[in-house]
Amino acid sequence: MASPCGPGYPSGAMYGSPEARALHARSPAIDLHADSLMWSRWVGYDLHTRHDPPLPLAAIGGHVDVPRLREGGVGAQFFGLVSLPIGQRRGLAAVIHEQIDELDKAVRVAPDRLVKVRTAAEVEAAARRGAVAALLGIEGAHALEGEIAQLDHFARRGVRYLGLCHFSANEACFPAYGQGRRDVDGLTAFGREVVRRCEELGVIVDLAHINRRGFLDACAMATRPPMVSHTGVLGAFAHWRNIDDEQLRAVADLGGCVGVIFCPQFLGGDGLEPVVRHLKHIVDVVGEDAPALGSDWDGFIVPTRDLCDAARLPLLTDALLKGGFSEVQIRKLLRDNALRVIRDNPVPA
């Protein structure tokens, strides 16, 4: 039976070559961004049920669940916590806590299959147990509601990164695109306070969605490695959503990593080749210690057809092998680079 996700891939198949699957067994992938908990909060989406792949033109969600993460050799998933109805300014912290509650419930249902983690050691321990490690990251400092104390509350509940921006301005910064866009303005005074407090708490600063000025401001003051959880790169495709080589160098110089998104709109084409092209550009510009995976699954995107759900990730590994990436480079972008950034932003004892 043909899969609705893409031609030539039967439903329920094990995807990827034996070589690719063996690579995932040795280096279970870490994906830096999926918005699945948003759907759990809204419609009761069950992370433990294997869902059928969605139709291509309706594939704004339904890409991730624990069975398909395991099938695809994904050892750890960062779940993005989305708070922002455009224009709303209060009640956003509560929305984040509700999504964390959804993850906590899912972990209680099957702690042998899904475990909530904060540290690199816990990610590795989950892999040894054969469980999927779940990490949390907030998408947009709107969730702080202008109060730095909110960040402490979120960190205590296990949040490991804070995306400073989303699709509208907030008290910390301005978006690359969206409501309140102001390209000439960087981090606000509150934004600088947020970056400093993130580093004190071991919360990774995520630079997805923020405007270029704010992005470089955050890098200039950083003492810990940041990340860009889900993005494309301008050197591979010109789009407002993508970051340029100076931004790549700013993150790489700090020991950070850059997760490549799986959305054709930002990649410049459908299929695996555009994903490989963006990853290759990062390697060519700043080396093999920077690229990572940032799917944006379940985030109101239609993913590239070959990566329309988590089970298909080994297909990308095959494309990387065919594209000349070495095993060392692939293991770094699948897992090691993200794991290093987690480790280099230690959670206080």
| pLDDT at residue 61 in the model | 81
Q: If you ran DSSP here, which 8-state letter would residue 131 be given?
A: P
Please check whether residue 180 is in contact with residue 144, taking contact to mean a CB–CB distance below 8 angstroms: no
Q: What is the DSSP pairing of strand 29-34 with strand 159-163?
A: unpaired
Helices marked H in 202-308: 212-221, 245-253, 264-267, 272-286
| pLDDT at residue 4 in the model | 47
The number of residues in the chain equals 349
The 10s digit of each residue's pLDDT in 113-135 is 999 999 999 999 999 999 999 99
For the chain, helix, strand, coil in percent to 5 are 45, 15, 40
Please check whether residue 240 is in contact with residue 190, taking contact to mean a CB–CB distance below 8 angstroms: no
Q: Coil, strand or helix: which one is 118?
A: coil
Q: What is the DSSP pairing of strand 159-163 with strand 227-231?
A: unpaired
Q: Element (H or E) spanning 139, and its range?
A: strand 132-139
| pLDDT at residue 14 in the model | 85
* pTM listed for this prediction: 0.95
| pLDDT at residue 89 in the model | 57
Residue 161 CB partners (closer than 8 Å, separation 6+) = 78, 137, 138, 203, 204, 205, 206, 227, 229
Q: If you ran DSSP here, which 8-state letter would residue 61 be given?
A: S
> Each residue's pLDDT tens digit in the chain (349 positions)?
334 465 444 555 689 999 999 999 999 999 999 999 999 998 899 999 998 866 655 567 899 999 999 999 999 999 999 986 544 556 899 999 999 999 999 999 999 999 999 999 999 999 999 999 999 999 999 999 999 999 999 999 999 999 999 988 999 999 999 888 999 999 999 999 999 999 999 999 999 999 999 999 999 999 999 999 999 999 999 999 999 999 999 999 999 999 999 999 999 999 999 999 999 999 999 999 999 999 999 998 889 989 999 999 999 999 999 999 999 999 999 999 999 999 999 999 8
CB atoms within 10 A of CB 145: 17
Hey, CA dihedral for 168, 169, 172, 176, is it positive or negative? positive
Q: 135: which strand partners? A: 78
Give the domain ranges of the chain. Answer: 18-343
The 10s digit of each residue's pLDDT in 138-195 is 999 999 999 999 999 999 999 999 999 998 899 999 999 988 899 999 999 999 999 9
d(CA 107, CA 47): 9
d(CA 330, CA 338): 12
d(CA 255, CA 189): 25
End-to-end CA, the chain: 52
Phi-psi region for residue 257, left (φ > 0), alpha (ψ -120 to 50) or beta? beta
Please check whether residue 258 is in contact with residue 251, taking contact to mean a CB–CB distance below 8 angstroms: yes
Q: Coil, strand or helix: which one is 322?
A: helix
State the amino acid at position 212 in one-letter form.
R
**CATH code at 18-343:** 3.20.20.140
State the amino acid at position 130 in one-letter form.
G
Return the residue matching tokens 């695809």.
72
| pLDDT at residue 3 in the model | 45
- Backbone φ and ψ for 28, nearest 5 degrees, come out as -55, 130
Least Cα distance to 52 among 3, 94, 108 occurs for 3
